[in-house]
Structures are given as structure tokens and as C-alpha cells.
Chain A
Amino acid sequence: MDDQPRSINTFQFSYSLDRKNFFRRACPKCGLEFKTKAEPGEIASILQPTFRQMGLEIGETPESDEDHDNVKSCLICPYCGEQSETCDFLTLDFKRYLERFVYREVMLPQINSMFEGLADSIGHQKSGGGFLSIELSMEFNRSINPPRPISGPEPPDMKIVNLLCCNKEIKILENWNCGIYCPYCTSIEVLR
């Protein structure tokens, strides 16, 4: 059991969807973009890897358990068939947005409070005697926060594909006319 007290921070995170509630993704292997319908329980799984990199853990989210159950942990690229964790299918733009958000909303407050604590503990100290003496003075000026990042707007691009196998919709590149893999069940599909 970990007896260390844990600090809990609550924050709101939002990201942009297109007018039909599709979320843009990019394949980690071939780099091509597609979109899937955004699931309410997905936000936590998208954020989790970035938070874990910083030793943080996402706790409760407002979504219901049912929402979490509906979220697939893996996805398949419709173009090349690459199978990977859902959170690997993020666009570079979105990753940048996420990093900026986490830096501003999570890391920076921690850094600020750490330095404030340090400044309070050191303040203005003198120690001396003998031949050597040292004078420590520390004042922490909180810097102005960088602007809060903005997500979107998300263009209503790409064409909608109804997946007959899973009864779901995705969006793929307008000029893609070959067969596709279903991102949810791996079946090979013909576009009609």
C-alpha cells in the first residue's frame, strides 16, 4: 500500500470534432489520416499515455462505466491494416495540443508551487564563520502563463464510410477508392 498522500487536481479537457462528431486520427505506420466517431469514454484513454510519461495518473472521469466499456483499446488502420493501441492513432497536431495543454494545466502549476515552496524555505539566509561565508537569497517571481492552447476548428473533410460489418461509420480520404480494413474488427471491406 502506498501511504503517501496524493495530490488530486481536477481539470477540464476538450478537443475539436467535426460537424458529424468525427475525431481525426493518423496511422502510426503509414501516416495517413482517417476519422472515427468520438466515444465519450475515450478522452481518458487518449490522455493517459501522456500523463503516465510524467508519472501522473488519471483518476475518475465523468463518463459512465458503460462508456468505458464501449471504447476499443486497439484500432486498425483502414489503409495499411496496422494494428495498435487506440492512443497511438493521434495526429501530430493533436499530440502538440495535448502536450501544450498538459504543460500549461498540469506541469506548470506543479513547477510554480515547487519553486514557491523553495523560495519560502530559503528566503534570505546567511551562514558564516571562519574563512568562508555564504549568503543565499531566493525570490520566486511567477512567470506569466503561456496562452491556453486552442483545439480546432476541425474541417468537415473526407468521405463517410458505413461499415457494414460493425454497423459503425468512419471517414477516409476522399481519393481513397481501394478496399479498406475495418478499424474495429479487421475485416477487409470493399467500397461501394
Chain B
Amino acid sequence: MNQLPKEQVVKSLRLFKSRRDDLLHEDIDTFEPNFKRFCDFCQKDSLVQSVITPLEALYTTDVQSWWKKIQSDDRDEMDLCFPEDPDEEFLLRYAIMADAVQQSDAGMRFGLALRKWKASEWKEMFRNLIIRPFADELSHRLGDVIDLATPEERSMQAVPLKYIPKSNEVRIFLSHKSQDKPMVKRYYQALADLGLSPWLDEPDMPAGTNLERGILQGFEESCAAVFFITENFKDENFLATEVDYAVMQKRKKGKKFTIITLRYGGNIPELLKPYTWATVSNDLEGFHELLRALPVQAGPIRWKSSIVED
């Protein structure tokens, strides 16, 4: 089944319910105009027709023959002479209504067949026994059609303000030995691709930046410090300073700062042992551990702009 625009479906359903409820529940004195409006709507509305048309292709209805049966003297009083097949019954009701709109005495004929002599009574009987079951069945069928034919609803996240960090507090400081830079750059790129905000000395410290001040600034803006411990790692002064800075940030920021150590080999410095660490055998494993330990998470799934923009 082809998909229908949601706006069209909503509009059709709104009109359908309005016409249906006017016909079923307004004063019986307004029956004729409301009946005509409802039938006109059903004949013209594309959503309603998407229910009716496939059935019309499958079944033929003989309204005149039904009129003969319903008016016949030997009819069982309880028998409304509808076919057993629910699709055929539904279609016949629709055809009876379309026929009744054309013939002003149709409702009265139906009433007389049911021995209701007063106009208000036969109108009420026609409304209860012919129209209401049709409207109920059509409501169900329309519900099925719109569920199949409308696109799935989009989903968004509503995030409380307290969940949203400032842009200058969510960087991820990547601390490493210079020999490990190719590996750390892969982490940097992967984090950036996920929409996170990694910090690495080379791209984030423009030439001429005071080294100590630049690194301290990097830590101040970060929510995590990641230490890559490989066989190349020796607890030399430069990294010891970064470990000190990380511990300082942890004391200052509490849960909003995480110290993560990914151990590819070598020994974990004593200062880092109280914090999160994992022994990893490859980058994928390391990246998984890193994402698990971070205090921030990657964003919701979206189409890339290059896919949706012309």
C-alpha cells in the first residue's frame, strides 16, 4: 500500500469523525442533511475510498434485491437480510446508504418494513441498524489503513537542562607518549566522528602556545582524561604532570570528570590505579572501554546532512 501524507490522513479523519458523529448523534430532525453530508464525504474522500474501492473490485452488490428481501412479508422479523461475509455486508451497507440518499422515501420504506410508522422512529431505526454498524466498521478499517499507509512517527529526545553540559567542559583529553601518536590519532578521529570533542596536543595547541598553559587549559575544558599506557610508556616527568593535572580535575569536578587508563602493555602508574582502567588488546576494544567509561554520551541517530540536503 502506498504511503499517505500524514497531514492528509489527519484532515480526512477529522472530517470523517465530525460527519459521522453529526449523523449519529445530532437531533433526528437534522437526519437528512447530515446523512447526505456523510454520504457525500464517503464518496469523495480518498482515504475512505481507499477502503471502499478495493472491495468494489471484488464484490458486486445488489441493493434492489436487498430492498425486496427486507420488504418481503415472509421475512423473519429479526433478519436484516445481510450477507454472511463481513466484507460483502460492509459493502452492501455502503450501497444501501448511497441508494437511500438518492431516494427520499428509502428510509420510510425501511421503517415500514420494520413496522415503525413514525418518521422519527424509522429514521432512528435506519440510523441504528444500517448506518451505525457501517460507521463503526469503517472506523476500524480506516484505523487499519492509516496504520499501514502512514510513515512511522519520528522520535526525538527531550533532555533536561541539567543533562546538557557547556561546550567548554566536555572535551576528552588524550594523554600519550609521542611514539603512540598514530594510534591516539585514530582514537581522536573516531571520537570526533561520533560528535564528541577530543583534545590532542597537536591540533588543539596552536604553534606558539605555552606548553604548560595549553595543557592546563585542555584539562580545564575536559570531562575526561585518557591515558594510553603502552610498552613505550615510562613514568617520566611530562606524563607525571598530566597525571597530576587529571587528579586535580577529578578532585575539583567529582563525577563529572573521569580518569580512564587504557593499557596496551607496560605497567599502570601507581597514581592511576585508583581510577578506571582496562587492559585492551586492540583499538576497537579500547574504544569500547573508553565510551563505556566516559561521563558523556554520543548523540541521537540522525541522517547526515550530505544525505538530506541538496
Contacts and interface: CB of A to CB of B under 8 A. Distances in A.
A100 to B, nearest CB: 6
B166 interface: no
Contacts of A165: 158, 160
Contacts of B306: none
Given A16-B143, A150-B24, A163-B158, A156 B153 contact: yes
B255 interface: no
A147 B128 contact: yes
B115 interface: no
A150 B156 contact: no
B154 A160 contact: yes
B276 to A, nearest CB: 24
Contacts of B143: 16, 152-154
A16 to B, nearest CB: 7
Residue among A148, A165, A182, A192 with most chain B CB within 10 A? A192
Given A150-B139, A153-B143, A154-B143, A160 B153 contact: yes
A102 B247 CA distance: 67
Interface size on B, as a range, is: 35 or more
Interface in A142-158: 144-150, 152-158
A157 B10 contact: yes
B164 A156 contact: no
Contacts of B128: 144-145, 147
Interface residues of A, number: 37
B113 interface: no
A162 B139 CA distance: 29
B146 A96 contact: no
A20 B153 CA distance: 9
A190 B163 CA distance: 9
Residue among B24, B124, B153, B299 with most chain A CB within 10 A? B153
A154 B140 CA distance: 10
A189 B143 CA distance: 32
A144 B124 contact: yes
- The interface residues of chain B, by DSSP majority, are classed as helix
A153 B140 contact: yes
Contacts of A190: 158-161, 164
Interface string B114-132: 0000000100110110011
A191 B143 CA distance: 29
A27 interface: no
Contacts of B178: none
A93 B300 CA distance: 35
Contacts of A150: 20-21, 24, 132, 135-136, 139
Contacts of A20: 153
Contacts of B139: 150, 152-153
B6 interface: yes
B25 A156 contact: no
A191 B157 CA distance: 6
B224 to A, nearest CB: 21
A96 B124 CA distance: 20
B212 interface: no
A188 B160 contact: yes
Contact of A148 (B21, B124, B132): B132
A95 interface: no
B17 interface: yes
Contacts of A100: 25
A155 B153 contact: no
Nearest to A168: B158
Contacts of A80: none
Contacts of B20: 150
Closest 3 CB pairs of A and B: A153-B143, A189-B158, A147-B132
Interface of B: 6, 9-10, 13, 17, 20-21, 24-25, 121, 124-125, 127-128, 131-132, 135-136, 139-140, 142-143, 146-147, 150, 153-164, 299-300
Interface of A: 16, 19-20, 93, 96, 100, 144-150, 152-165, 171, 174, 180, 182, 187-192
Given A100-B25, A156-B146, A187-B160, 10 more contacts: A19-B147, A144-B124, A147-B127, A149-B21, A159-B153, A160-B155, A160-B156, A164-B158, A164-B160, A182-B158
